[in-house]
Amino acid sequence: MSSTPHEEPLSIKGRDQVLDSALRPTLWDEYMGQGHVKANIQILIQAARKRGDMPEHVLFYGPPGVGKTTLAHLVAITLDAPLKTTAGVAIERAGDLAAILTNLEPGTVLFIDEIHQLSTKIEELLYPALESGSLDIILGKGPSARTVELALPAFTLVGATTRMAQLSSPLRSRFGGGVYQLDFYSEDDLRAIISRSAEKLGMQLTPDVVERIASRSRATPRVANALLKRIRDFAQVHEKELTVEVCDEACRLFGIDPLGLTKDDRRYLETLQDGFKGGPAGVRALASAMHEDPDTLENVYEPYLLRLGFIERSSRGRLLTDKGKRYLLQS
């Protein structure tokens, strides 16, 4: 099957696609969904403030776009603390980690996105920083080398990952404040998010338009906000009132179907069906057939397809379900 260029008006591909800062919640009451996680984090912060301490380190995991970064921002805002953001892939050497940690202001919230990408060597350097607030630096080489312990300013680490299985057990155990799973959102929560974002954008939406956008948002706030803005642009350019019909027209142009699936999602399903007879197919073989990176399949396409019940993961590989086959027949 030939590869086609990506058209991803709403795709959550890449860490550079972050929620528009104008729409990011700045109050806990504005953060919709994930009620259990919110309640636990608020208790953690309140208890730490009563003791005059920084909260213990916390880890969030879940699919892209479900609010992990926003939670890190809310933790910093609640503490009235500086927020330092980085990514696991950016910390390659011991010096990278040392530069970050030694330059933190006291009371900083350090957010490391995709923390599973830290190497074992970097993880081992991070352990004393998380446990005792110190960093062990080796000076010199060979027999004359010596270890110097540097005291670090107090900080709270907020880690985030889309690949929990790739995070080592020793690192997970260092998050004394808890390890929290963020899941896909209900349509009720998505409707609330879309309504709030529309208000911030100066838009007046009818309930049926909100419903239409929510149903095509892949159960993900980031996608919901991206779709809202794209449909707004479509309506403005064509000088049309934003109605359900205009939503449908815009989504057809964007290549988004009523379930929120794009042509790239359908290409995944078609490749699994036509190229591998419905599976099982290993993720690397499937990625090769699609001319994609395996991480893209696992992080972008598969979470929502799994949620819809269109595919299954087994020890032998990916399988197209009967539900997925029916979808292809109908689409």
φ, ψ for residue 252, nearest 5 deg: -65, -40
| Per-residue pLDDT at 165 | 87
Give the C-alpha separation, 185 to 262, whole Å.
19
The CATH code of the domain at 34-181 is 3.40.50.300
* From-to residues of CATH 1.10.8.60 in the chain: 187-254
**Could you tell me where in the chain the CATH 3.40.50.300 domains are found?**
34-181
- 222 catalytic per annotation: yes
d(CA 312, CA 319): 5
Residue among 222, 230, 267, 318 flagged as catalytic: 222
> 187-254 domain in CATH 1.10.8.60?
yes
Q: What is the pLDDT of residue 22?
A: 78
Selecting among 68, 191, 218, 230, the annotated active-site residue is 68
pLDDT at 150: 81
pTM: 0.85
pLDDT score at 145 = 64
Contacts for 34 with CB less than 8 Å, ≥ 6 apart: 66, 67, 71, 182, 183
- Please list the residue range(s) of the chain that carry CATH number 1.10.10.10: 263-330
Tell me if residue 262 is catalytic: no
Q: What are phi and psi of 32, to 5 degrees?
A: -90, 145
Q: Which CATH architecture has domain 263-330?
A: Orthogonal Bundle (1.10)
* Active-site residue, 50 included: no
pLDDT confidence of residue 330? 87
Give the dihedral sign, CA 156/162/168/170.
positive
Q: What is the pLDDT of residue 15?
A: 33
Residue 272 gets which letter from DSSP? I
Pairing of strands 311-314, 178-181: unpaired
Which of 69, 161, 220, 271 is the catalytic position? 69
User: Which one from 24, 70, 113, 156 is the annotated catalytic residue?
Assistant: 113
pLDDT of residue 142: 62
The pLDDT assigned to 24 comes to 87
How many Å apart are CA 7 and CA 255, to the nearest integer? Answer: 8
Residue linked to tokens 């208000």: 199
The active-site residue out of 70, 108, 161, 162 is 162
Q: What is the pLDDT of residue 246?
A: 95
Q: What is the mean pLDDT of each run of 10 residues along the chain (331 residues)?
A: 40 42 86 93 94 94 92 94 94 89 93 93 90 77 68 92 90 94 94 93 92 95 93 92 94 94 94 92 93 89 94 91 93 75
